[in-house]
Amino acid sequence: MARSRVAGQVRIVGTGLLGASIGHALTARGVDVILHDTSRSNLQLAIDYGAGRAAAEGDDPALVIVAVPPDVTADVVAAELEAWPAATVTDVASVKSGILHELEAAGADVARYIGSHPLAGRERGGAISARADIFMGRPWVIGDGDEVRRSQIEDLVIDLGAVSVDMSAGEHDASVALVSHVPQVVSTLLARRLAGAPEQAVGLAGQGLRDTTRIASSNPELWVQILAANATPIVEILRAYRGDLDAVLAALEAPDAPGARRAIAEMLAGGNAGVARIPGKHGQSKHFSQLVIMVDDRPGELARLLTEIGEANVNMEDLRLEHSPGAQFGLAEISVLPEVEERLAAELEARGWKIAGAQE
């Protein structure tokens, strides 16, 4: 493990999943990590797991990382700014403008505060689920502020293997409203429609419904805080969404009226255009071809398939497994570069695999 770029002691307040994970990563790089948590039990657990040490007389942190729930983040940041008059203080909350405004209103020394937000995959779990690697390859937004203090956060981001992205608090909040918070609301509202539905109807569910509702299983307590704290940009996007929904409803209420089918078609084409903007693997919007291959539902079969794809000297860009209700096999959807699709299909069929479909 390389030495840390972060200089001096680092104090982490809040030893949940994010705080403890940062602690593990920095400790592994030789940083003196001081942990604090209002829960003595949580704090001791994080120390036992090796995320850092308890606070002690003479501590003098150069950097304080506040990793507490969004609704108490501003208060804790203000207290830390006051307790450590030379330190840079950052936080990892998933909303940024409200915290900045609260700090300014409270008269905190915001010149030493740099807001940040790692877009880490899992936001639940506590110290037990913490891992040094959860930030690897993820975007980590760093807010505006003093350049020397910002570079401290950039060093932290590099140490943790994340990818730094510069954004103001307002840009950040509008961006996550669009790519995270509004999708959460939309998916949740769709899933709600299933709650009282007949068993027979949900029995027809396929991968499309599973994908669109997956994030609706997220933790309600955490998401109430996030949605309430970022309400303004979320409301703006949801209003535009409702405008589109009203237009579709009007068209579907009279689908044979002049222009109705055109309105529906343009809505669908707009959806196509929107999806095309989402970056895929390695941040590029590449187009891959998909092969769907039948795989028997027993240990080792999928490994054998992937080994044989490797033997065919094809790099798989993505893989998705799908199981059919009542069937004793799964469908593996393999994404590959379009130019190798035909050759791979031929090689796999020659080895006895059943190809259930192909699609550009």
Distance CA 287, CA 290 (A): 10
Q: Judged by CB under 8 A, which stretch of 24-32, 33-41, 84-92, 324-332 contacts a second copy?
A: 324-332
242 binds a second copy, rule: CB under 8 A: yes
163 binds a second copy, rule: CB under 8 A: yes
Q: Judged by CB under 8 A, which stretch of 24-32, 47-55, 148-156, 314-322 contacts a second copy?
A: 314-322
Positions 31 through 50 that interact with a second copy (CB under 8 A): none
134 binds a second copy, rule: CB under 8 A: yes
Q: Judged by CB under 8 A, which stretch of 22-30, 37-45, 100-108, 210-218 contacts a second copy?
A: 210-218
β-pairing, 10-13 with 113-118?
unpaired
Residue 103 CA from chain centroid, whole number: 26
357 binds a second copy, rule: CB under 8 A: yes
- Say if CB 343 and CB 312 are below 8 A apart: yes
Q: Which of 62, 66, 65, 44 is nearest to 54 (CA)?
A: 44
Looking up tokens 């950097």 gives 63
Among 60, 104, 109, 318, binds a second copy (CB under 8 A): 318
Among 58, 85, 107, 137, binds a second copy (CB under 8 A): 137
346 binds a second copy, rule: CB under 8 A: no
281 binds a second copy, rule: CB under 8 A: yes
105 binds a second copy, rule: CB under 8 A: no
Buried b (16+ CB within 10 A) or exposed e, 97-135: bbbbeebeeeebebebbbbbbbbbeebeeebeebebebb
How many residues contact a second copy, by CB under 8 A?
Answer: 139
Residues linked to residue 13 through DSSP beta bridges, in sequence order: 36, 66
- Minimum distance, C-beta of residue 144 to a second copy, in the bound complex (Å): 14
Q: Which two tokens stand for residue 246?
A: 């009203």
- Minimum distance, C-beta of residue 281 to a second copy, in the bound complex (Å): 4
Cα angle 30, 114, 88 (rounded to 5 degrees) comes to 50
- Minimum distance, C-beta of residue 27 to a second copy, in the bound complex (Å): 16
302 binds a second copy, rule: CB under 8 A: yes
- Minimum distance, C-beta of residue 109 to a second copy, in the bound complex (Å): 27
299 binds a second copy, rule: CB under 8 A: yes
Positions 246 through 265 that interact with a second copy (CB under 8 A): 246, 248-249, 252-253, 255-256, 260-261, 264-265
Q: 198 φ, ψ to 5°?
A: -60, 145
- Say if CB 302 and CB 329 are below 8 A apart: no
Q: Judged by CB under 8 A, which stretch of 22-30, 45-53, 142-150, 159-167 contacts a second copy?
A: 159-167
Alpha helical stretches, state H, 254-321: 260-276, 301-311
